Structure 1
Amino acid sequence: MEHTPHVLVVGAGPAGLATAVSAARHGAQVLVVERHLGTSIHPRASGLSTRTMEIFRSWGVADTVRPVSSAVIPRVASGTTLADPDLTENPLGFPLPREALAVSPSAPACCPQDHLEPVLLDAARRAGAVVSFSTELTDLAVHDGGAWARLRDTATGETSVVRSRFVVGADGPRSRVRAALGIGTTYLGGLGRHVQMLFRADLSPVLGGTRHGLYALSHPDATGLLIAFGTQGGTDRWGYARPCPADDDIPADEAEWTTLLRTATGIPALAPEYLGSAVFDLDAGLATASRAGAAFLVGDAAHRMTPAGAVGLNTAVHDGHGLGWKLAWAVQGRAGEALLASYVAERRPVGERNARRSVRPGVPDPADGMVGDLGTRYASPVLAADPPALVAPEDLAAAPGERAPHVWVGVDGRRCSTLDLWDGRLTLVTAEAGWRRAADELALAAPSLADPRGRLARAYRLEHGGAVLVRPDGYVAWRRDEPAADPVTALRDAVALALGLGPPAGAARDPFAAWDAAKDPLAARVDEAAPALAPV
């Protein structure tokens, strides 16, 4: 059997599913393969940042994520034990809801990965992606024009071949895709080996009705971290992690775990229900490249992070969100090579920054908190942008490369955030008649936005008749502060830049012209002879 999707995604964790949702929502035919039987059965990561929840809002799944999230304070509480009357509270890397809602329509959430992945899986399938579990990648060949992969059904042993325009490695820190591409990794450091026990127990005798996302406990006989992993069946589910540099540091049996947990919680009669334990190394690393021809790496395949700062899952989702629409537009002939190249230019620096931060817990960094989450300014070949920088969210000013600011506006009589306007299209934000006529002539979205108090005009700096072009991922591609003598040409050039459709070899290219697959170097060519597949 042979499949010919536009995009093959290897791995159905948060990075792979986010890529699939983004690509499928923008019209690509997507096949996701995952070697495991289903979505994660382990809670793994749980902190969802403000930006991640904004992305989920744009996909229509934020209201599904909230009910399966934990109701916790996004802070770390520190003390000797849970029963310590003098627990102190410190930042965990996430803002309080009121802080987030001052600059965003969304607030962070604490959703364990085993609760989140089924939501993203459903979103991917509803968008049209095909997701196949118990399917592993066995062979892969890639060049600039496409990818050929051999897959094996782990239940039946049957094999099939996939010929796709693009392949995305979202298969974790031991990525088979990365290995097949010959891409190495650079070790960035780590926080040592740890063991974690997942358990259910009622901790209300010491916690009451209050829950923090993380507890750092320093009792000399039970030093460790207690992590809130959501509620199932009315009983709290927790993870208890502690260092284990030597095998002798790993509790030998449930009786030893019970002794540790009773000490750590300060509940002498605690009777935990044990769900399973795991030993893991908290390491960080960076792939030496994030792209090879038609192949791209996202998430842990591109940049592995420790849990410190809770940036790993969020960075993975942001990778997939930023890459998926670019692949979809390129395969449809709506975008050029420069837009594909922008994925590496925009996302790799963020991945490296966050990976390096994750091995320096407790060391202040300019990218901490909402600044890194919402205030990263991209620089790439498709942005008329200043050099990359970090901008405080409240200072975002609709400059190229920045996340477009959140402002409440009126659209057709209903109140919505500007962030609700971007998904699926390029959008022009302007109130000036000339720009609006140009957008109409070019069939470009330019919604009429009610702004009675002038907040939009101030936030986007439109007071002098300017215009702002926003990409489907919510980042500003281009702006002009005043009207243009020839707004149609100016806007046409802006769109060509934003989509990587610059003039090839001295000939002008019309980004609004009909797509001719035979003439487009980015079109899928599944009739090409497949190169020899290499085992992975």
Structure 2
Amino acid sequence: MTIHSNGYRDIHHCDVLIVGAGPTGLTLAIELARRGISYRIIDKCAHPSIYSKALGVMARTLELLHQAEVADTLIAQGHQVTGMQASSYTKVLAQVEFPSLIQSPYPYVLMVPQNITEQVLIDRLTALGGTVERQTELISLHQGDQEHSQVHAIVQHMAGDAQLEEEISARWIVGCDGAHSTVRHLSGIPFEGEALAQSFALADVQIDWKQDHNKLHVYLNKGYLTAFFPMLNHRHRVIIGMPPEYVISSSKDQSISLADIQAVLDICLPIKVNMSNPIWLAKFAVHQRKVKNYRTGSIFLAGDAAHIHSPIGGQGMNTGIQDAFNLGWKLALVCQGYAAESLLDSYHAEREPIGQQLLRGTSLFTKLATTRHSVPIAIRNTVAPLLSSRKVIQKRLFRLLSETGIAYDRSPIVQQGKGWHRPMLHAGERVPDGGYGQSPRHTLLLFAGEHPVIPSPKPPTLEDDIDEPDHRSLLTQVAVKWKDIIDVHIWLPDHPLMTSLPLPSHIHVDADHDLHQRYGMGKGGYVLIRPDGYISYIGGLSDEMDLIGWVHRSFQIPARL
């Protein structure tokens, strides 16, 4: 930053300042970069973390990362876990095979260390022309009193041994800086919740046993918990949970050792399992905390800065990445002038209930897993096998674990037309297979159903003479006027007559009617899909004018067609 002799200080501007370059911040930066938005991403650390930290990448996260063009790279460096078994000492409580439970291109949990996930995201951001400003720390934050005012931040850079300050003026700042968020602290936003009484520890080790390396194994006994997460190269992440009165005996400074973890394994498992070659050992406490508001004026919180919880279920990093996907396209539309700033309120409306549900769910499962009382244990060990053996329960539980069951059906920015009918999907639902292509824009699908459609031989262009009578369909006109924010695709049940081959790129034939059936569109209709793979609008063919009105209310586009 330059400070002139008269005390005037240069101020640098950007649309979005992202604080924190973990998976959440990197994902948000990628989503903004894909859309050409002015942003900066800073992190106080000199280098990315070298530790594995979060491990499991869920199906819904992989679907979204596919849209950002990083899923395949990540999958190549991870290990696919296709099932799980949970036991209370010798009694099997649940056995589940994942691929049969969800419709997704990724019917598994991908085990990949967080440091690898971060590097894949960094490489993608670099390919988009972005970079992380490291050794750059947020030290001051001020939001103006006026509505829609900018945020002024002072950041401190390390340049050798010198510390340089810079002032940044941003339309919005997003705190992706973890459980001890500086953005949250400087903004005075409470982080309400509690610490769990149990203590936890982890170890990345090699294990000598004969269990299926493609399955996750959990063992419970007398209030202790042990979970084994398979990794590449025949290694495992082992997580243990211990009752409050458990005393770490092998070290005076209360750090964890391999012997401490082995002692808990000996309590939980009915067989002897030996660990070796540890590359990371850590003890940690678990907090269940969440902010009340994900948005405070021009300040947003995402990931661990907004919510932290028990590691049971492996939801933390995944939820943060999905926070970023939800917020990214909304910030972009507002920055580009295609949507009103009120669209950003839907980030809290949609993601806060997910965080609340996450805290409730992980708290319940942690209590069930670590209870030490004989009556709850007896009930758990009796009821769990009965419930878990039912396919419908398995599907429901894996939809929670994989996060493919997340829906925004109560969101203020989704709608069903009056022509909606069963078996159509609901507004706010995740679309089949989690997305439609890799476009950063919305996608409008027109399902012709049983109605004959003779499409135009080529997509219309803006160069068409608007003073001439327009005999094109209303849908075709929408495709022209809204092409910068909506991609339009027409799906026909059969190949149309009276048209030349090949068909235009925006017209497709669903010869086996598979797509019509998956969207519940046997009789035809409209589906407007958001960039994050959820349904914004859905209705029948009779809802054409209602759809047009919805789009006009949702986006800032010229009203004339």
TM-score bracket, shorter-length normalisation: 0.7 to 0.9
CA distance in structure 2 between the aligned counterparts of 1:343 and 1:259, rounded to whole angstroms:
44
Match of 1:379 in 2: 410
Report the alpha carbon displacement of residue 491 of structure 1 after superposing the two structures with TM. 4.3
Percent of aligned positions that are identical: 25
Q: 2:349 aligns with which of 332, 345, 351?
A: 345
Q: 1:474 aligns with which of 524, 529, 533?
A: 533
1:524-535 mapped onto 2 (5 Å cutoff): none
1:284 paired with 2:293, answer no
1:16-415 mapped onto 2 (5 Å cutoff): 16-78=25-87, 80=89, 88=92, 90=94, 96-100=98-102, 103-108=103-108, 109-143=110-144, 144-154=148-158, 156=161, 157-187=163-193, 189-203=194-208, 206-207=209-210, 210-216=213-219, 218=221, 223-228=224-229, 230-231=231-232, 234=233, 236-243=235-242, 245=244, 248-249=247-248, 251-252=250-251, 254=257, 256-257=259-260, 260=263, 263=266, 270=274, 272-361=276-365, 368-370=397-399, 373-384=404-415, 397-406=424-433
Match of 1:429 in 2: 445
| 3-state SS of 1:308 partner | coil
| 3-state SS of 1:210 partner | coil
Match of 2:500 in 1: none
Conserved 8 A contact 1:70-1:110: yes
Paired letter, 1:272? S
Instruction: Note the alpha carbon deviations across 1:151-178, whole angstroms, 9 max, x for none.
Output: 1224642222222221101111221111
Paired letter, 1:96? F
Report the alpha carbon displacement of residue 229 of structure 1 after superposing the two structures with TM. 5.7
Paired letter, 2:205? R
The 1:210–1:29 alpha-carbon spacing in structure 2 relative to 1, beyond 3 Å, is: same
Report the alpha carbon displacement of residue 512 of structure 1 after superposing the two structures with TM. 8.8
Match of 2:477 in 1: 438
| 3-state SS of 1:359 partner | helix
Report the alpha carbon displacement of residue 119 of structure 1 after superposing the two structures with TM. 1.2
Match of 1:505 in 2: none
Conserved 8 A contact 2:68-2:438: no
Report the alpha carbon displacement of residue 381 of structure 1 after superposing the two structures with TM. 3.0
1:450-461 mapped onto 2 (5 Å cutoff): 450-461=509-520
Report the alpha carbon displacement of residue 268 of structure 1 after superposing the two structures with TM. 7.1
| 3-state SS of 2:339 partner | coil
Instruction: Note the alpha carbon deviations across 1:405-463, whole angstroms, 9 max, x for none.
Output: 23xxxxxxxxxxx8233631121101445454233332342122321121222333434
Match of 2:376 in 1: none
Report the alpha carbon displacement of residue 326 of structure 1 after superposing the two structures with TM. 0.8
1:494-509 mapped onto 2 (5 Å cutoff): 494-499=550-555, 501=556
Paired letter, 2:139? T
Conserved 8 A contact 2:66-2:438: no
Q: 5+ residue gaps in structure 1? A: 81-85, 387-394, 407-417, 502-508, 514-536
Higher mean C-alpha displacement, 374-383 vs 111-120: 374-383
Larger Rg: 2
Report the alpha carbon displacement of residue 402 of structure 1 after superposing the two structures with TM. 1.5
Question: TM-score normalised to the size of structure 2?
Answer: 0.74
Count of residues paired in the alignment: 467
Instruction: Note the alpha carbon deviations across 1:246-289, whole angstroms, 9 max, x for none.
Output: 58335327574485378477897946223343332212111021
Conserved 8 A contact 2:74-2:120: yes
Paired letter, 2:299? A
CA distance in structure 2 between the aligned counterparts of 1:173 and 1:70, rounded to whole angstroms:
27
| 3-state SS of 1:420 partner | coil
| 3-state SS of 1:430 partner | strand
CA distance in structure 2 between the aligned counterparts of 1:260 and 1:96, rounded to whole angstroms:
31
The 1:177–1:512 alpha-carbon spacing in structure 2 relative to 1, beyond 3 Å, is: farther
Higher mean C-alpha displacement, 24-33 vs 266-275: 266-275
Q: What CA RMSD, in Å, does the superposition of the two structures yield over aligned residues?
A: 3.2
| 3-state SS of 1:4 partner | strand
CA distance in structure 2 between the aligned counterparts of 1:258 and 1:426, rounded to whole angstroms:
49
Instruction: Note the alpha carbon deviations across 1:116-162, whole angstroms, 9 max, x for none.
Output: 12112222232333312222111111242322211122464222222
Say which structure, 1 or 2, has more relative contact order (CA 8 Å, 6+ apart).
1
| 3-state SS of 2:87 partner | strand
| 3-state SS of 2:325 partner | helix
The 1:290–1:34 alpha-carbon spacing in structure 2 relative to 1, beyond 3 Å, is: same
CA distance in structure 2 between the aligned counterparts of 1:468 and 1:255, rounded to whole angstroms:
54
Match of 2:371 in 1: none
The 1:299–1:250 alpha-carbon spacing in structure 2 relative to 1, beyond 3 Å, is: farther
Conserved 8 A contact 2:14-2:38: yes
Conserved 8 A contact 1:198-1:276: yes
Match of 2:492 in 1: none
| 3-state SS of 1:192 partner | strand
